[in-house]
């Protein structure tokens, strides 16, 4: 008999076969090593780009007459990111991350192999925490993280005012005694849509071994939080991997929870909106008081574009359900309502229109983000989508869109498009 094991992270599943003599096939080890080197190289390049950009900005301020001080080698020294000290993301394979895996692509462990707290204070995440304190943020993709891009990382002094982090920062602790307070479930990719930027076909695990396996690993993560009624404070985020109402695993969780048993539990929903119907909303009545935010993905401002970017969706239903959420927000029944837009070739002309649409439907914020290749496109196909690249045939049109002052409105969050907009407008004005 051969033992089989999967080294896994998003979009990377490498099957390794263990021989009877206990050795691993060399070609599989090399494949895993190549992946590790690729991630390290990407992080290095992203960090260097950020450092060069930061250095350039400092030089411009000095030329303009600003006062300069001696700069430290780490561009984010004295800044703090709370995620490695509070967040755990669970992916389908059981792989755990401490941030969005496209922003911080190093897994901290696997829930199928280790208990939560072993992973939470393991050697990998301790190294990540050290990188926050030394200011290098060397595990992060500086070019993708919207918080780094927007310059929104708090200082250590500011972050220390939060009781969650006071002792951690004062003592520069890399071991955290309490379990993660932000639990991000991205472990089921089941979705009613099959957007070209995300997948090539519908994924729907409604029954069978796959669904049971997803549920088993999820239960392993949630056991410390939901095994019995408690007053533990934690945030449950569902989901950036598919849709909470298309997933049987997520539906069973949301419809069975009783918020009264977990008064300090908060739920953050992320959905494509098509299945966020009044009926499904009502089925979650027992946790309405626990839902603190609803994020709805649009990626379009017109039905024609929506049919391209959100394949399998239904525009009229999306608008109807979103408007209903907007009304609930006005009544105070939905605390935070955000509409999202992933920028790409098919939709960048509608960015301004999307801002107006989001406002008209009652959103609190319109948020933009950079397209990411999850493996559905070849390199050339993906680059064809990246209209913000200077050599792209539509780059000048993109620059013209970026010049619109509507994106300076506080209602708009440019996310990791902030630096891209800045560079595009600077190049366009030369």
Chain segment 204-227, per-residue pLDDT in tens: 998 899 999 999 999 999 999 999
- CA 59: distance to chain centroid? 32
Find residue 96's DSSP bridge partners: 90, 109
DSSP per residue, 273-295 = STT--HHHHHHTGGGGGGEEEEE
Chain segment 96-111, per-residue pLDDT in tens: 999 999 899 999 999 9
Q: Span 232-256, mean pLDDT?
A: 96
pLDDT of residue 38: 59
Banded model confidence at residue 374, pLDDT cuts 50, 70, 90: confident
8 Å CB contact between 338 and 361: no
pLDDT of residue 51: 52
Tokens of 315: 């525009």
Strand stretches in 230-349, DSSP E:
234-238, 265-271, 291-297, 336-343
Q: Span 136-149, mean pLDDT?
A: 92
pLDDT of residue 39: 53
pLDDT of residue 423: 85
Q: Span 225-243, mean pLDDT?
A: 96
8 Å CB contact between 102 and 184: no
Helix (H) or strand (E) holding 28, with range, is: helix 26-63
pLDDT of residue 52: 54
Is the sign of the CA dihedral 318, 323, 326, 331 positive or negative? negative
pLDDT of residue 15: 38
3-class SS of residue 416: helix
> What is the overall mean pLDDT for the chain?
87
Chain segment 337-365, per-residue pLDDT in tens: 999 999 999 999 999 999 999 999 999 99
Calculate the alpha carbon distances from 94 to 191, 241, 319, 373 in Å: 19, 13, 35, 22
Q: Span 227-243, mean pLDDT?
A: 96
Per the document, the length of the chain is 430
Backbone angles phi and psi of 163, in degrees to 5? -55, -25
Which of the 8 DSSP states describes residue 214?
H
Calculate the alpha carbon distances from 200 to 297, 313, 346, 384 in Å: 18, 14, 17, 17
pLDDT of residue 143: 86
pLDDT of residue 24: 46
Percent of the chain with pLDDT over 90: 75
Report the alpha-carbon distance of residue 138 to residue 127 in Å, rounded: 10
Banded model confidence at residue 6, pLDDT cuts 50, 70, 90: very low
């Amino acid at each position: 008999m051969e033992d089989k094991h999967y080294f896994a992270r998003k979009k990377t599943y490498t099957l390794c076969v263990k021989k009877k003599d206990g050795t691993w096939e060399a070609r599989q080890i090399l494949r895993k090593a190549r992946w590790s080197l690729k991630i390290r190289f990407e992080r290095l390049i992203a960090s260097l780009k950020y450092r060069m950009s930061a250095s350039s900005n400092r030089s411009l301020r000095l030329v303009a007459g600003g006062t300069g001080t001696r700069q430290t080698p780490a561009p984010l020294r004295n800044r703090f990111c709370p995620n490695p000290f509070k967040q755990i993301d669970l992916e389908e394979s059981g792989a755990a991350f401490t941030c969005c895996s496209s922003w911080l692509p190093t897994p901290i462990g696997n829930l199928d192999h280790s208990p939560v707290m072993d992973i939470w204070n393991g050697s990998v995440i301790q190294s990540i925490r050290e990188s926050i304190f030394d200011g290098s943020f060397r595990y992060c993709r500086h070019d993708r993280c919207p918080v780094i891009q927007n310059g929104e990382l708090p200082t250590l002094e500011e972050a220390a005012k939060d009781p969650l982090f006071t002792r951690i920062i004062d003592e520069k602790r890399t071991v955290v005694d309490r379990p993660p307070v932000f639990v991000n479930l991205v472990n089921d990719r089941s979705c009613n849509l099959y957007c070209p930027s995300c997948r090539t076909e519908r994924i729907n695990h409604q029954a069978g071994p796959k669904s049971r396996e997803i549920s088993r690993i999820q239960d392993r993560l949630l056991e410390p939080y939901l095994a019995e009624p408690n007053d533990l404070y934690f945030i449950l985020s569902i989901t950036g991997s598919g849709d909470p109402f298309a997933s049987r695993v997520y539906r069973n969780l949301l419809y069975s929870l009783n918020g009264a048993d977990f008064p300090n539990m908060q739920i953050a929903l992320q959905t494509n909106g098509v299945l966020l119907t009044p009926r499904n909303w009502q089925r979650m009545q027992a946790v309405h008081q626990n839902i603190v935010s609803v994020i709805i993905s649009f990626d379009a401002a017109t039905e024609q574009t929506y049919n391209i970017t959100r394949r399998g969706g239904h525009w009229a239903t999306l608008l109807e359900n979103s408007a209903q959420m907007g009304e609930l927000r006005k009544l105070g029944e939905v605390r935070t309502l955000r509409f999202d837009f992933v920028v790409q070739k098919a939709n960048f002309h509608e960015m301004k229109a999307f801002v107006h649409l989001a406002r008209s439907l009652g959103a609190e914020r319109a948020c933009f983000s950079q397209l990411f290749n999850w493996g559905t496109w070849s390199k050339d196909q993906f680059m064809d989508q990246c209209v913000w690249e200077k050599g792209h045939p539509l780059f000048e049109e993109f620059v013209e869109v970026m010049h619109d002052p509507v994106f300076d409105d506080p209602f708009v969050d440019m996310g990791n498009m902030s630096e891209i907009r800045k560079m595009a407008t600077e190049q366009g004005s030369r």
